[in-house]
């Protein structure tokens, strides 16, 4: 079988210093290699009019933003395309090799999206966004936080209230970011993860990363098992778009021993026509004293 590979994107960073141009690698760089055969499925499996190549490009850019301050030459090559994975998998990542040292990172990975996925009602299939960077099919955005012993931690960034083809479909951009999260280290075969995690249970953030001491509970996959709303959980939702929250960025930073992940809110809260999407800030815990303040103040 003659399989044609298309390099869709090579991310390079250039540093100019002291008046002389000098090539320097800064931060994460993801090189995407699209496998064209088999082609992207059509309706009813995939609708929306978007193409996987553009969606993966945006997904890679989102992860590169998180790790733009990573030191060293961190380059990941991802071959990706469609395949018949059968069953209820929507996508699957396979780590192929590692490169570098102190620590080594996954250097080559493969990601397949399932053209033959079992779809349980009400899920109708995949939504391929023709404009994946503007979130125009979603009318609301929510940032969820939890109050930890180490500060407020963002655990979800979710676009909801879908319209049109996005209703009751798995968002391909969300799925692409999820699979790239596995390719970036949340993979049971990756040596960097195996050195820090015994295969099931607690996983701890260490200094000098922020939230040092915070613990995750990782389960088979591996996935985050004790928080319901991050991107890297086992059950992917339909009818919404989850982008990379601080909790996922922090986890991947620890796995790869990156000191300064970008945990800030990304500039993705617009609906495509310049209007800001209504934002809701939500917390799962309350920091005020139970029963209210010790004396009546500000009573309505």
119, pLDDT greater than 60: yes
Token pair of 38 as six digits: 């088999």
Least-confidence region, from 89-103, 109-123, 232-246, 264-278: 264-278
Residue 87 has a pLDDT of 79
Q: Per-residue pLDDT tens for 150-169?
A: 999 999 999 999 999 999 99
Count of beta carbons in the 10 Å neighbourhood of residue 272: 13
Confidence label for 289 from pLDDT (cuts 50, 70 and 90): low
Token pair of 114 as six digits: 């399932």
Burial class of 23 by CB neighbour count within 10 A (0 to 12, 13 to 18, 19+): exposed
Confidence label for 287 from pLDDT (cuts 50, 70 and 90): low
Smallest CA-to-CA distance from 95 within 226, 207, 190 is with 190
For the entire predicted model, the pTM comes to 0.87
Percent of the chain, pLDDT > 90?
72
Distances in whole angstroms, Cα of residue 119 to Cα of each of 44, 89, 90:
11, 10, 9
Distances in whole angstroms, Cα of residue 199 to Cα of each of 9, 105, 194, 226:
34, 18, 7, 15
Residues 6+ apart with CB under 8 A from 228: none
The residue ranges of every structural domain in the chain are: 5-283
Least-confidence region, from 84-93, 101-110, 125-134, 171-180: 84-93
Residue 281 has a pLDDT of 75
Residue 11 has a pLDDT of 33
pLDDT top residue among 273 and 58: 58
Q: Per-residue pLDDT tens for 4-62?
A: 444 443 332 222 233 333 345 579 999 999 999 999 999 999 999 999 999 999 999 99
Residue 74 has a pLDDT of 94
My answer on whether omega of the bond before 38 falls inside 30° of 0, hence cis, is yes
293, pLDDT greater than 80: no
> b or e along 172-190 (b: 16 or more beta carbons within 10 Å of the residue's beta carbon)?
bbbbbbbbbbbbbbbbeeb
Residue 282 has a pLDDT of 77
Q: Which residue has the tokens 């997904």?
A: 59
104, pLDDT greater than 90: yes
Residue 89 has a pLDDT of 87
Residue 283 has a pLDDT of 74
Confidence label for 86 from pLDDT (cuts 50, 70 and 90): confident
DSSP 109-173: EEEEEETT----TT---EE--SSTTT-TTEEEEEEEEEEETTEEEEEEEEEEEE-GGGTTSEEHH
Residue 70 has a pLDDT of 94
Token pair of 170 as six digits: 């798995």
Residue 276 has a pLDDT of 76
């Amino acid at each position: 079988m003659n399989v044609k590979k298309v390099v869709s994107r090579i991310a390079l960073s250039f540093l100019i210093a002291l008046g002389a141009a000098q090539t320097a690698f800064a931060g994460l760089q993801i090189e995407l290699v699209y496998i064209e055969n088999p082609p992207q499925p059509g309706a009813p499996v995939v609708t929306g009019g978007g193409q996987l190549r553009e969606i993966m490009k945006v997904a890679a850019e989102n992860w590169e933003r998180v790790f733009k301050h990573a030191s060293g030459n961190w380059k990941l090559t991802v071959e990706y395309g469609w395949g018949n994975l059968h069953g209820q998998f929507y996508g699957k990542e396979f780590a192929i090799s590692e490169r570098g040292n102190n620590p080594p990172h996954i250097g080559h990975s493969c990601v397949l999206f399932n053209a033959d996925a079992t779809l349980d009602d009400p899920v109708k299939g995949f939504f391929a966004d023709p404009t994946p960077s503007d979130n125009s099919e979603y009318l609301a955005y929510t940032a969820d936080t939890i109050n930890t012993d180490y500060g407020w931690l963002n655990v979800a960034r979710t676009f909801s209230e879908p319209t049109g083809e996005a209703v009751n479909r798995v968002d391909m951009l969300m799925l692409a970011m999820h699979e790239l999260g596995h390719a970036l280290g949340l993979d049971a075969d990756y040596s960097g993860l195996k050195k820090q995690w015994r295969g099931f249970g607690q996983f701890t953030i260490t200094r000098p990363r922020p939230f040092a001491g915070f613990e995750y509970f990782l389960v088979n996959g591996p996935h985050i098992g004790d928080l319901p709303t991050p991107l890297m959980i086992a059950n992917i939702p339909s009818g919404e778009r989850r982008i990379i929250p601080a909790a996922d960025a922090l986890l991947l930073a620890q796995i790869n021993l990156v000191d300064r992940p970008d945990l800030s809110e990304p500039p993705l809260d617009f609906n495509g026509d310049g209007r800001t999407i209504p934002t809701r800030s939500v917390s799962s815990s309350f920091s005020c004293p139970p029963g209210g303040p010790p004396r009546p103040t500000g009573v309505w």
